[in-house]
Chains A and B, each alone.
Chain A
Amino acid sequence: MRAIAVAVGLAAMLSAQPTRAATTAGVDWNAVLRALGGALNSWRQAPFGAQTPTPRPPTRTQTPPRTSTPTRIGTATKSPTVTATETLTRVPTRTKTPTRTATSTRVPTDTRPPTRTFTPRPTSTPVPTTSNDGQIALAAAQGQPPAQKLASAFVIFPYIVTSPTQDTRVELMNMSDQEIDLQCFYVRQSDCIEVGFFVSLTANQPLSWLANDGANNPLTFSAVPPFTGVGELKCAVASPRAELDFHNVLQGRVLIYDNISGETVGYDAIGFQKLSPGGYTGVINLDGFTYESCPDRLHFIVLTRQGVATSDLITVPCAEDLLNQTQTETVVQLAIINEFEQVFSSSYRQKCLGKPGDQTFARFGTLSKAVLGTDTAHLIVRGVSTPLVGLVIDRFQGQGNTLHTTANEPFLEGGRDSTVVFP
């Protein structure tokens, strides 16, 4: 009650002030003030401080900055997929008997439709089946994965290594009889900083360079800077022509070697074909319509960790906004199935390309023979908020405990949207 009384008194004092002004000056100040207030109100300005709270909602002035944000940021809205991982109904799958003969009873639980009804623009939401919630191994993935080993418009090399003792030979190949231009970006793992460059390839031309050295060819206007550290490389065919034949022309390969030991890893770049005609814009929509989708799941057959040999899992987010240097962050879910059909899982959080040492199998206790009980495991990898590409570096001991190393490229299942934005 006391507050109301004070407010009424203040209102009475304020209402009395214009009257005094009008009488002291001998002018019709009320009319003058009304006119001034009307004019300033039309400019969305109040004549006096006492009137300022009423006229304009402050949100109106905040609208202009919205126009400066690129619409591509919308790709980050895939985060609802996280909800699929929160379910804990994976437990029932563990209740299966460990013997292989019991697998026939699993057939009825497969809720997939008998035929695949892929849509040209697959949604990124996971299949909301009740029997497989949260189990990335057994729920069906939607969408179409990118077909590999074909002439592509966009390629990703998920693993490039340079050091005083290690080097990477990057190989690119024009599979067409036309000259092509490529826009490439190398992204360093340590700080997620990118280095961009252009490469021109004449008809059918192969080109390779050592990442430690770079390349320079004034005849073709190609110049590649030396790379440093560990990172990934993305290259897109930058053709202004609309026809698909001018885009789907590229393939690539990498050889990583240790200068002293000769340990070598060779793998093919992951390729994405362009599906819709149109010139290159620097925005690569991996949506199953403009370009092929990013794979939803990566399936690996891996050798379990035994002795001193430890394999590595390399994962790289498909979505990347190099224009705004927005680092992609996602949880990576792993499902691990041994030869007895027993299912294990693990997960980790990855920002950009992750940190050095993140990839080793030693991090995941389950990926060892001591835990799994078998030499081989089926590893399924899925990025939650953004799809991933990647590879495994297999390390194992052979005859006489000789250490062996080789690349292990994934099989792909399903497809999800993602966007790569080049500056």
Chain B
Amino acid sequence: MRQVASILRFTALGIGIAVALATGARGEAPPQRLPSAVLIYPLVRVEGAGATVDTRVEIVNLTARPVDLKCIYVNNTTCFGIDFHIRLTANQPLSWLASHGLFSNTSSTAVPPFSSTGELKCIVQPDQEGVDFHNAVQGRAVVFGADGQTIGYSAVGILRLVDGPLEHTIPLDGVTYSQCPDQQHFLFVSSTGTPASESEIVIAPCSEDLENLVAPPTTVQFEIINEFEQHLSASTIVTCYARRTLRQVSQSFTRATLGSETGHLIVRGVQTPVLAMLVDHFETPAGAPATAGNEPALRGGRSAEIRFP
């Protein structure tokens, strides 16, 4: 009877959360891996001036024209932004170590070194107003540590949808630019309880006022579904940036609670849409620690706004 009651409770909980999440899954999720106008790197990490953990930021111009970019790095502790400009020649790839920065006297590119964890946003500043002049770049980052752990991921790309000039306010509304994803679906490996198997989640709000440095908090809802289709839930509050272990969010991500090796996690910001990525940590059968970046599948879209200085 206790098992039946437990199943009924899980089912009712699941239906409730599914209804709550389904109501917001409208609009269009931003298609990825295409030439984009806005790039968002949710995880740039530097520790020990790069000696412990460093990040190689990579960006590529996918057009046969030069492209100018305005970028801003937001520190996770202060939520302050550091601005810089990048100029890419036709088809040019460019990369730099976040701990070192970059200086090029042949192009107007200078990137300051970063010294903590945070997120990076870059926006194309087009010469002309055509959509093709906006949708020009793609990016990638590789976070690597002295312990050999490596996290590679692609920047989240936002497409420009209509011709027009770049303005200080970037409306991610599905009309001018593609919307922010409403739901983000992850496949994750449940934690076995050892520190080496504690996966992490990184969350940054889509909406950001970097001109006035206003960062209102948002509640982030988590729905967790195991292989038996049982639903669990959790939530947390994020102000401008969060990087936590899944265990810090909830015990539901452990194998002991979830009951299966793999889980389906749905992440949704309540007040504003959020961008998230997981860092998978697990142990191989021989006990070796393993790490990989885990990017979500996107569902639905919601409007947001980025305001640049």
Contacts and interface: CB of A to CB of B under 8 A. Distances in A.
A403 interface: yes
B214 interface: no
Contact of B280 (A103, A107, A255): A255
Given A266-B293, A378-B60, A337 B93 contact: yes
A337 B160 CA distance: 26
B211 interface: no
Interface in A220-275: 251-253, 255, 257-266, 268, 271
Most chain A CB inside 10 Å of its own CB: which residue of B92, B130, B231: B92
Contacts of B286: 259-260
Contacts of A251: 185, 187, 297
Contacts of B280: 255, 266
A95 to B, nearest CB: 14
Contact of A100 (B22, B64, B92): B92
A268 B89 contact: no
A339 B94 contact: yes
B64 A106 contact: yes
Given A376-B93, A406-B292, A208 B262 contact: yes
A398 interface: yes
Contact of A399 (B93, B132, B146): B146
Given A203-B229, A205-B225, A206-B226, A101 B293 contact: no
Interface string B265-309: 000000000000000101011101111111111110000000000
Interface string B184-210: 010101000000000000000000000
Contacts of A343: 91
B187 A253 contact: yes
Contacts of B285: 167, 259
A10 B285 CA distance: 89
A145 B60 CA distance: 18
Interface in A93-121: 99-101, 103-104, 106-107, 109-110, 112, 114-116
A410 B33 contact: yes
Interface stretch (A148-156, A278-286, A355-363): A148-156
Interface stretch (B1-9, B47-55, B245-253): B47-55
A137 interface: yes
The number of chain A residues touching the other chain, given as a range, is 35 or more
Interface string A167-204: 10101111101000000000000000000000000111
A53 interface: no
Contacts of A206: 187, 225-227, 260, 262-264
Contacts, number: 238
Interface string A306-321: 0000000000000000
A167 B107 CA distance: 45
Interface residues of B, number: 78
Interface in B227-242: 227, 229, 231
Contacts of B74: none
Contacts of A339: 92-94
B115 interface: no
A262 B284 contact: yes
B76 interface: no
Contacts of B299: 150-151, 175
Contacts of A81: none
Contacts of B187: 171-173, 206, 208, 251-253
B131 interface: yes
A252 B63 CA distance: 30
B91 A264 contact: no
B232 to A, nearest CB: 12
A376 B138 CA distance: 14
B294 A253 contact: yes
Given A151-B297, A175-B297, A204-B264, A138 B91 contact: yes
A104 B66 contact: yes
B152 A376 contact: no
A341 B90 contact: yes
B131 to A, nearest CB: 7
Interface string A335-347: 0011101010000
A265 B106 CA distance: 36
B65 A107 contact: yes
Interface string A284-311: 0000000000000001010100000000
B95 A376 contact: yes
Interface string B147-164: 110111010000000000
Q: Which 5 A-B pairs have the closest CB atoms?
A: A147-B31, A266-B292, A406-B152, A262-B288, A103-B89
19 contacts: A103-B66, A107-B64, A138-B91, A147-B33, A149-B298, A173-B185, A174-B264, A206-B227, A257-B284, A258-B284, A263-B290, A301-B95, A341-B91, A394-B152, A402-B147, A406-B292, A408-B140, A411-B33, A411-B60
Interface of A: 99-101, 103-104, 106-107, 109-110, 112, 114-116, 137-138, 145, 147-151, 167, 169, 171-175, 177, 202-208, 251-253, 255, 257-266, 268, 271, 299, 301, 303, 337-339, 341, 343, 374-378, 394, 396, 398-400, 402-413
Interface of B: 18, 22, 29, 31-35, 50-52, 54, 56, 58-66, 89-95, 104, 106-107, 130-132, 138-140, 142, 144-148, 150-152, 154, 185, 187, 189, 225-227, 229, 231, 260-264, 280, 282, 284-286, 288-299
